[in-house]
Structure 1
Amino acid sequence: MRCSEEGKQDTRMGIVEALGRPVRGHNLTAEETKALTGLIRDRSIVILSSDKGRSTVVMDKGDYEDKATTLLQDKNTYVVVPVDPSARLQRKVEGELNKLKEARLITERKWSRMRPGDSMIPKFYGLPKVHKKGVTIRPESSERMLNNSADFVERLRGINMEEDGCLVSFDVKAMFTSLPQGLLRQAALSTVESSREFLEKEKLTAKELIGLVDLYLDSTFFKFRDKIYHQEVGTPMGSPISVVLAEMAMQRYEEEVLEDAPPSLKLWVRWTARQPNVKIDGRRPDAPRVTVPFLKGVSEVAARLLRKHGLEVAHKPRNTLHGTLTKGIDAESQAGVRCKDCETHYVGETGKRLETRVQEHQRSVGRRDMISAIHDSKALRGY
């Protein structure tokens, strides 16, 4: 987006003026706030997002853990490991990335962005499948593809069905955690080898790419309660690479199956959740666009000012009941530091490993970092 200095200044002044106006706080009553706080603090329940439908599910914690434990008792898929492999895997990934950088197969920038740091094993959690009987939980960690329902209707045009014809829908059960890793490797290899444009662009050989796929498939560790598991089959839920690998495997599987399909098969399509390339409210999908939290009285002004310069603004809520309630299932670590000479008690929250955060506090005190609350306390009291 290009903008003159005068336009930039007008935009800044308009937003600053809007920020100076009184802003109304949240719209919850005192009783609603108290009830919400009680739900968050209740340790006998877990509050999660549902697998489908964007709904919020409240489950008894014991029931939830029993279902998760039952799922993890599948010895063919999950194996308990005795030690945390995070440090070993981090060194292995760093070694592979260093080889690619030294061979000039990836740039310094890509190497820096992909290089892991302070690795911590992911936590396992389940999403309740409320659309199915019994409330099970799902693990998280092509030309035949459909964009949306409108695309499906368009493909049906011109197809003449016999009177005894029927529409059949198939659903792959636990696809990500059931696909054989051999199939995933072969599908990835055939897809890469057939994409000369990709190989030329990335400057990687098919062997090098498959080596990275093997490294990924060997890194499927997670933690539940106090145990660490390794997933022996399939790919982990929640990873963007899992979606790509599963898509490649399904394409390969479909090609083999459809070779023997009967002539009476009129149409075969597959749907995946992805954003269609369509106009939104008359705007081009490739127009510069930014998503920011909504703040009444400010966001409207900012959107109007930025639209003058060709930048579209989309708003998202700052806080929602769903987001507030469901974030506790994978909560960040909380730690406290108590002064040995007085009653001062520092409490912090972090997504990093505890030992890493403690080391950061120690360095902050050593270099007299003024943004550190612990250093401020030490400087104020002189000890």
Structure 2
Amino acid sequence: MKIDPTQRYKRELVAILSRLKKDKKIEKYQYDLLFPTAENIPRIYGTPKIHKPGNKVRPIVDYTGTIGYQTSRALADILSPLVGGTEHHVTNSKHLAESLAEVMIEEGEIFNSHDVVSLFTNTPIDESLNVIKARLEHDKTLSKRTLLALGVIRTLLDRMNSVISEKEDKDQKEGKIKHALKQCGYPEWTFNHVKRKMDRKQQATKVPGV
């Protein structure tokens, strides 16, 4: 990554928040709360897993004070009612112990416990976002928690996802533009034609005397 994209991400987030305030989807106090005042870059550190052989380090990303910190907290409040809606959900270790106390092991049966290696760091982000979006689409109480449209929540989720490289960011934006044009009835060749012209113009500006 050649340059720090923090300022660009901040401008994009502020533009989204300004539009939401203008459309009266959020109140002024909410806008002031979500407005990114800090510009810290997410910091990564590690804690040793002293309970496991080799004492491997668990990577943790500290998001406190970053441009999307308050927005992430607001999204967490919107998404929190979706958690725990299945029969397999366990709240904490006490809940697990109480549930296991009712389990009777019959003769010839064994109790098997599995350990997941690097659970959160191996969770596929794209698939997780798709699951969240699908749950939101079927959430009948969403309108009681927020005035934000589902599409806006999706946009914020995508933006809060992670800091990506400049090339990846460009490729993703081009893909979204292509999709939007296709939805409006434009064939893909129109985008490719314009992009080639823009690329040639950009290359020409880099050549002295042209």
TM-score of the alignment, normalized to the shorter chain, above 0.5: yes
CA deviations 1:326-379 (Å, max 9, x no partner) are xxxxxxxxxxxxxxxxxxxxxxxxxxxxxxxxxxxxxxxxxxxxxxxxxxxxxx
| Contact 2:48 2:58 (C-alpha < 8 Å) held by counterparts | yes
Q: Does 1:135 align with 2:55?
A: yes
Q: Does 1:165 align with 2:109?
A: yes
- Counterparts of 1:171-182 in structure 2, within 5 Å, are 171-182=115-126
Match of 1:199 in 2: 143
Match of 2:9 in 1: 89
Q: Does 1:121 align with 2:41?
A: yes
Q: Does 1:211 align with 2:155?
A: yes
Higher strand share: 1
Which ranges in structure 1 are unaligned for 5 or more consecutive residues? Answer: 1-80, 222-229, 231-383
| Contact 1:126 1:140 (C-alpha < 8 Å) held by counterparts | yes
Which ranges in structure 2 are unaligned for 5 or more consecutive residues? Answer: 62-83, 169-210
Q: Which protein is bigger by CA-based radius of gyration? A: 1
Structure number with higher relative contact order (C-alpha < 8 Å, ≥ 6 residues apart): 1
Question: % of aligned pairs identical?
Answer: 26
2:107 is paired with a residue of what secondary structure? coil
Higher helix share: 2
CA apart distance, 1:149: 4.2
CA deviations 1:101-152 (Å, max 9, x no partner) are 1111111111111110241212221111222222211111124223344433
Q: Give the aligned length.
A: 142
Residue type matched to 1:134 in 2? Answer: G
Q: Does 1:98 align with 2:18?
A: yes
Residue type matched to 1:214 in 2? Answer: D
| Contact 2:105 2:111 (C-alpha < 8 Å) held by counterparts | no
After TM superposition, the score normalised by the length of structure 2 is 0.59
After TM superposition, the score normalised by the length of structure 1 is 0.34
Change (3 A) 1:184 1:161: same
Match of 1:190 in 2: 134
- Counterparts of 1:332-343 in structure 2, within 5 Å, are none
CA RMSD across the alignment? 2.3
User: What is the alpha-carbon distance in structure 2 between the residues aligned to residue 210 and residue 101 of structure 1?
Assistant: 17
| Contact 1:199 1:206 (C-alpha < 8 Å) held by counterparts | no
